[in-house]
Amino acid sequence: MFSDSLSRRRFLHSGLLSPVVGQTLLGGSKVIGSEAVGSGVVGSEVNLSEHGIEVLLPRNRVPLSFIIDDSTCLVNMGHFCTPQFAEAWPDRGEYQKPWQQWPREIPDAFVREFGEWCALKGVRGKYSIVPNPACVGWMDRELPGWSRKELRESLRLVRELMLPNWDIHPEMITHTRVIDLKTGRPLKEIHAGTMENSYPQEKKSVDELAAYLAYALRILKQCDLPCEGVTTPGGFGNQVKSELSLAADQAVRDVYQVDLPHYFKYVHTGDQSTEPIIENFRNEGTSSPQMIVNVPAGTGDWFGGWQGDRLSEPDLYANQDATSGRMVELIQRREPAVMLCHWPGMYSNGTKEGFISFQRVVESIERRFGTETLWMKVSEIARYWASKAACIFSVSAGKLVIDCPMQTPMFTIRIQDQKGPVRCHALGAKGDQSVQVLREVSQVKQLESGCWMQEGDDLLLCIDLNASKIELRFDS
């Protein structure tokens, strides 16, 4: 119907995608040269909105995620880190607590209980495995205090139970003492400058930092744990923030050959946006863009803390009926609501008080916002925002073309003044093609991959960007 260029030109002036005169959605003087598919490139969001296109949240839902720091296999980091921190910072009261009375182990039975409950509820997030936790032992070799068999079974539990729903990150090498990469031993002196939490205290090159991160990643690789990102312990890298971003980018790519690294370091508070930040974006506009994604958390740790000895304050995340709390605030702002905790604070030195409080928070959010939110891994959130940054939109008669150098599921867009139905043509890099007629749904909460819906004059659609080019056609 819109095959001749005259028709195309006509639609340029009367509304590019819509055959209904008067519905000017992608039209306007900014869209030029629409005779050829792929012209009229809309490169930035500013332009996108000028053309009535808006990239929405995945499935139009607010991403939720749970970042767990200071976890590893078996070793209770609260028990083992505290005396090492006390030596480096003798004046700090929180390191003088009775760590000897806390259990040395967070047992696999608790990992299983936690992981199974989260899987049942669909909770997803990030779970650290510190490779040489507090210098106690090496995840890929030997963990003094536990048998080789216990260590291997603990790693297997992480692979089988946690991996499907959780990103695995190293949290540097020890989370306590800085390791000399040449000898594999902790540095001799003990002070703030030789603790990972406050390392480095002077400028370090990207290569030096990348070598340190890669050392940690390689240990997890030897444990058959895949990683797409890293977590920094405490203030690691505070003096070298831009070098750290580049180093994480390099190290994760070097060790794991992933196409999209990410990292967790920052907590965003107050009015600050919690959207992921694209860093070191290069090869923009090509078929192989590269970047690293900085995914911030949006809450403090208000469960049992890194020593597991605090009483939780679950209402700070969400109160019983989810009418107040930081998670509620972020959900209502429609920004990623990424909550933070430390693993000893879930176990609470055996009482599980933190875990019980966490369950209450998850259930409160689910009751009020279950159909408006979506649990995602940190890597999935990173990928969605990376795709949004890397995709190139073009418009021509009756269709919207999306070049997708960075692919992601559940990509969701709004097109103003557009009617369905929608056909989705996926064009693979090797010339393979597939066509899908999207399914119409009547409510936003039903929106999932492969669906579209009419919302007033606008069309909402959700597709997997799983080909190098996607053509959305509205002319049938």
Residue ranges in contact with Zn ion by CB under 5 A: 69-70, 233
Indicate the residue among 139 and 391 with the shorter CB distance to Zn ion: 139
Indicate the residue among 62 and 73 with the shorter CB distance to Zn ion: 73
Shortest CB 119 distance to Zn ion, Å:
24
Shortest CB 158 distance to Zn ion, Å:
17
Indicate the residue among 200 and 344 with the shorter CB distance to Zn ion: 344
Residue nearest to Zn ion (CB): 69
Shortest CB 80 distance to Zn ion, Å:
13
Indicate the residue among 229 and 325 with the shorter CB distance to Zn ion: 229
Indicate the residue among 77 and 162 with the shorter CB distance to Zn ion: 77
Indicate the residue among 301 and 335 with the shorter CB distance to Zn ion: 301
Helix (H), strand (E), coil (C) string for the chain: CCCCHHHHHHHHHHCCCCCCCCCCCCCCCCCCCCCCCCCCEECCHHHHHHCCEEECCHHHCEEEEEEEECCCCCECHHHHHHHHHHHHCCCCHHHHCCHHHCCCECCHHHHHHHHHHHHHHCCCEEEECCCCHHHCCCCCCCCCCCCHHHHHHHHHHHHHHHCCCEEEECCCCCCCECEECCCCEECCCCCHHHEHHHCCCCCCCHHHHHHHHHHHHHHHHHCCCCCCEEECCCCCCCCCHHHHHHHHHHHHHHHHCCCCCEEECCECCCCCCCCCEEEEEECCCCCCCEEEEECCECCCCCCCCCCCCCCCCHHHCCCCCCCCCHHHHHHHHCCCEEEEEECHHHHHHHCCHHHHHHHHHHHHHHHHHCCCEEECCHHHHHHHHHHHHHCEEEEECCEEEEECCCCEEEEEEEECCCCCCCEEEEECCCCCEEEEECEECCCHHHCCCCEEEEECCEEEEEEEECCCEEEEECCC
Shortest CB 263 distance to Zn ion, Å:
13
Shortest CB 271 distance to Zn ion, Å:
26
Indicate the residue among 70 and 108 with the shorter CB distance to Zn ion: 70
Shortest CB 218 distance to Zn ion, Å:
20
Shortest CB 125 distance to Zn ion, Å:
14
Shortest CB 342 distance to Zn ion, Å:
6
d(C-alpha 105, C-alpha 416), whole Å: 56
CB contact set of 105 (below 8 Å; sequence gap of 6+): 74, 75, 76, 146
Indicate the residue among 70 and 309 with the shorter CB distance to Zn ion: 70
Indicate the residue among 61 and 175 with the shorter CB distance to Zn ion: 175
Shortest CB 110 distance to Zn ion, Å:
18
Shortest CB 69 distance to Zn ion, Å:
4
Residues 192, 89 contacting (CB under 8 angstroms): yes
Indicate the residue among 186 and 344 with the shorter CB distance to Zn ion: 344
